[in-house]
Amino acid sequence: MTPDRIRVFLDADVLARPVTRTLLIAGAPESGFRVLWSCYVEAEANRHLKPWMTLVSDLRLRFGWELSPTGQIGGRFEDTDPKDRQVLADAVAAQAQFIVTGNVDDFATGDLTAASMSAVAPDLFMAAQLTVTGYLEALSAMVVGRKAPPNTRGDVHAAIGRQHPRLFAAHVDLIPGIVPLPHPHDPPRTEFRGIRCMRCTNVSRGQAALTSMGLCQPCLTND
């Protein structure tokens, strides 16, 4: 595999959420990144789907998505939660720069540092990386063929506010007059961990520590 774009590895909890998954997959081509996941992650995502939901593996076959390679743990990543060591190994095998996950705390800082990688909550990642064109592409993908609400880009834009308030705020002016649906949950305790900047994607080591929102000092200054 050649690192043609920013490579973003999806954890199972993200892959199992249809709205989040669609935003990332549909918005990636116009936003300069590529989403990837492995056989292990796909199996875990399938296991957590509701009975009426379409399996991710079925969607992959339908749309021709490819699985990334399986990595070898080999005694690595022992500070990471045991259930996520294979996830991190697979992300390394995929040459990913970021893992998008709802469980950032499960990935150890030292293990992410060794992999030159960051783990990021999906809302924070998409707010930083989904471009206007990519976001509009994702909204369009969500309304194709829908007859019942939300079946317009404006309706879906409002609904995004319930799950991903940071992403909605990043594109609040895109469709005028849209009020976001209320977000019922507090943000995750930890939304970012690692050494790769969310905005410029450069690695920062040692004294050049990133902020809790994953920005290096130059990007923080220009934010």
Residue ranges of the domains in the chain?
6-127+185-222
Please tell me the distance from the alpha carbon of residue 36 to that of residue 91, in angstroms, as a whole number: 8
| Contact criterion met (CB below 8 Å) for 136 and 173 | no
Mean predicted confidence (pLDDT) in 212-220: 86
66, burial (CB in 10 Å: exposed 0-12, middle 13-18, buried 19+)? exposed
pLDDT tens digits, one per residue of 144-193: 877 777 788 888 988 898 889 999 999 998 888 888 887 777 777 889 99
Asked if the model's pLDDT at residue 207 lies above 60, the reply is: no
Per-residue pLDDT at 148:
78
Per-residue pLDDT at 4:
56
Total-model pTM: 0.92
Tokens representing 118 are: 């960051």
Name the residue type at position 209: A
Can you give 1-57 as a three-state secondary structure string?
CCCCCEEEEECHHHHCCHHHHHHHHHHCCCCCEEEECEHHHHHHHHHHCCCCCCCHH
Per-residue pLDDT at 189:
84
Asked if the model's pLDDT at residue 2 lies above 50, the reply is: no
Please give the distance of CA 78 from its chain centroid, rounded to a whole number.
23
Sign, Cα dihedral of 155, 159, 164, 165: positive
Per-residue pLDDT at 182:
77
Per-residue pLDDT at 3:
43
Per-residue pLDDT at 53:
95
pLDDT tens digits, one per residue of 33-74: 999 999 999 999 999 999 999 999 999 999 999 999 999 998
β-strand partners of 34: 7
Mean predicted confidence (pLDDT) in 123-129: 95
Q: For the chain, what is the radius of gyration of the CA atoms?
A: 17
- Computed over every residue of the chain, the mean pLDDT equals 90
Per-residue pLDDT at 33:
96
Please tell me the distance from the alpha carbon of residue 16 to that of residue 44, in angstroms, as a whole number: 9
Mean predicted confidence (pLDDT) in 20-35: 96
Please tell me the distance from the alpha carbon of residue 170 to that of residue 127, in angstroms, as a whole number: 6
Residue 124 contacts by C-beta under 8 Å, 6 or more apart in sequence?
166, 191, 192, 198, 213, 214
Measure the CA angle with vertex 118, ends 89 and 10; round to 5°. 60
Tokens representing 65 are: 């998505």
β-strand partners of 38: 68
Q: Specify the higher pLDDT residue, 1 or 172.
A: 172
Please tell me the distance from the alpha carbon of residue 212 to that of residue 13, in angstroms, as a whole number: 22
Per-residue pLDDT at 206:
64
What percent of the chain stands above pLDDT 90? 68
Please give the distance of CA 96 from its chain centroid, rounded to a whole number.
12
Asked if the model's pLDDT at residue 108 lies above 50, the reply is: yes
Tokens representing 135 are: 């976001």
Tokens representing 220 are: 């923080």
| Contact criterion met (CB below 8 Å) for 192 and 122 | no
